[in-house]
Structure 1
């Protein structure tokens, strides 16, 4: 059951990652939109500069025509004062023609002035929109990045959880194997001790020697019990007839039938 759950989690994480990879990254989309707006703002500012240049050129031309207009008026007055009505008439005719040209120039200047005001208003409005869009763009990007990091973190935690489950299962299997191996070791020890399982590494006839050693050990225990009984009788006689020096008793350990 745990292995199935782990596989399901792995499949789910894989599908989730693929789905996220296929999704359009909104951060790139927002940056592209911001760049396009900035380019548009640059175009508006460039157009505004061109209109301002044209308006300045018309303004300079208007000043030149205005100066000529005033000069023609002075020439007509001077010609009339000198009795040259024909020159005065020619100056006034040129002045009238120039006046029409100046009126046309004034219309162009007024049109450029209106266009300048409109472009300036658009430039201010677009600048404010771009500034607001930039703030919102960075906020959305930061939020998306944080959410993306949270998704990755959640996937990592889910992976750790699945790993912990797998580790728990591995530990449980390891405990079972250890218990089985311990039981098997104890069983083989008993079989070796009883001789039912032959130890291939032991010396030849080791089983006979082992049984003889066990018999010898049993015989030694019987002998020590018999010696203890005799010591009880000897101790009773010693209490009535005399005692042996207790300081020399250690010399008799293992030397005679009373070595118990």
Structure 2
């Protein structure tokens, strides 16, 4: 398992509880990005520690090299003074430092190799985090855009429902208006035909009352006509016939 996979696993374990409570994808992505930044910061601190250790070894190596150079110089000076014993002693001490020099070189080389490897890893992780950051921001924009569309469509859905109810109410109102107009037209037509006026003039009388009145009128007309004929046969001057009262209604 690579370092990035281990970091991702650690991230999933530590953020599991937070992710269960989080509901907004934007907050989850920001949290994931923050955790990755923390991981790469830890990686950079590790690189800095390795570099510090390498520098310390290089300083110690430099001091040891100075001591070796000093012993070499002292051995030459002792020979020039005819003190071969001192020269031999200086060279012996010098040889004791040689294994330490090799050890420093080996450790420094290992630290330098490890540092270069971590630096390369840090660059790869940094690139991935930057890609993740770009994708995160894009995802957040897409989420907020989708959220806005959902809210807009929900709002439009509510407006559509209200408009549907308004449309139905308008239809009912139009139907009532058409019904009233039809009724008004029908009443106007009945008034023009005299049906309603005749009913009002007759009041509350029934069919029998109307028939008896009609008979009375006819009888009155016949009596007046007969009287006029008799006057004409007598040769008298024509006078206005006296109004003959009709028979009294049976219902009075």
Match for residue 129 of structure 2?
Answer: 130
Residue-by-residue CA offset, 1:45-70 (whole Å, 9 max, x unaligned): 11122222221121122111111111
Match for residue 29 of structure 1?
Answer: 28
Contact 2:22 2:28 in 1 (8 A): no
Residue-by-residue CA offset, 1:164-221 (whole Å, 9 max, x unaligned): 011122333445666788979xx9xx9xxx6xxxxxxxxxxxxxxxxxxxxxxxxxxx
Match for residue 142 of structure 1?
Answer: 141
The TM-score with structure 1 as length reference comes to 0.57
Match for residue 163 of structure 1?
Answer: 162
Match for residue 57 of structure 1?
Answer: 56
**Matches of residues 70-109 of structure 1 in structure 2 within 5 Å?**
70-109=69-108
Decide which structure has the larger Cα Rg and report it: 2
Paired with 1:126 and 1:23, the residues of 2 have a C-alpha distance of 26
Pairwise CA distance, 1:118? 0.8
Paired with 1:177 and 1:150, the residues of 2 have a C-alpha distance of 40
Contact 2:58 2:108 in 1 (8 A): yes
SS at 2:100 equivalent:
helix
Match for residue 114 of structure 1?
Answer: 113
Paired with 2:150 and 2:114, the residues of 1 have a C-alpha distance of 52
Contact 2:78 2:84 in 1 (8 A): yes
Paired with 2:76 and 2:85, the residues of 1 have a C-alpha distance of 12
Answer 1 or 2: higher relative contact order, Cα 8 Å, separation at least 6.
1
Pairwise CA distance, 1:23? 8.7
Paired with 1:74 and 1:91, the residues of 2 have a C-alpha distance of 9
Alignment RMSD (CA, Å):
3.1
Paired with 1:111 and 1:27, the residues of 2 have a C-alpha distance of 43
Q: 1:23 to 1:46 in 2, by over 3 A?
A: closer
Residue-by-residue CA offset, 1:77-125 (whole Å, 9 max, x unaligned): 2223323233222212211111111111111111110111011101111
